[in-house]
A = this chain, B = another copy of it.
């Protein structure tokens, strides 16, 4: 008989976080995505929670889950608490490393938009460390360790530039592309996640050309590189190919351009107080100096 019996464990924090995410996002799969685990892990956490509580938090349907009244009524408090925790963590991080800025962005943006601007940013503020994390999805900034997010978004708040798409190709190809209908004879490169681009652009023409199915790339930057190397036509996003257009590695053979409803957006969910490093970086990126383009690539 132990004198100090193992204290009844309090509810495990991880399980609570899983519940909160699942409840807020309306599904285990979505919660798993946000927390960076597999759905099975969420299932297990929620089940454990329900077990110790002795009451179900979700009603399972074959098409997903729905909160029970019990879950519904307790969600707001948990969301608020975890938000507060996330903000506290963010503040702590900021206080511990005041001259470091963490940016979350798409891999394509990281390589094609952000990276070219970094040397000048470093020159402008040598004491600031910029750390970049490439993510496929914008993170929940209240919960993640990022100061700034840089993604394409419909939300106009914080937009840097609109998202304009049009075909681009290596200069050598341009002569053979007199009208959009010449396209059908060329490979049409596209990004694996932006599969609509070609069709959207084609619809803007009075006589939409047939777009042949070309190779798709999971890394947009790779598609750009292939295009530079003459692999075919790429449907370009202006913000991401501006550098290549400016220094002549790519050209836009047709005048037709389509402005999408979204745009490149830089934002933060935490206040950017003047004088702080994240504020400086955000301001600096907004002024968007794609300074001194690299000299045109020399092909020996």
Contact = CB atoms under 8 A, between A and B. Distances in A.
Interface residues of A, number: 45
Contact of A96 (B7, B70, B80, B96): B70
Contact of A55 (B73, B78, B96, B143): B96
Contacts of A4: 136
A5 interface: yes
Interface string A14-36: 10110000000000000000001
Given A5-B134, A53-B92, A97-B55, A10 B144 contact: yes
Contact of A135 (B7, B97, B143, B144): B7
A252 B112 CA distance: 88
12 contacts: A5-B134, A7-B133, A8-B133, A8-B145, A13-B13, A53-B96, A70-B95, A74-B92, A77-B88, A78-B92, A80-B88, A82-B85
Contacts of A219: 3
A77 B70 contact: no
B11 A89 contact: yes
Given A13-B17, A136-B4, A78 B88 contact: yes
A149 to B, nearest CB: 14
Contacts of A80: 84, 88
A14 B13 contact: yes
A90 B258 CA distance: 54
Contact of A74 (B16, B36, B91): B91
Contacts of A88: 74, 77-78, 80-81
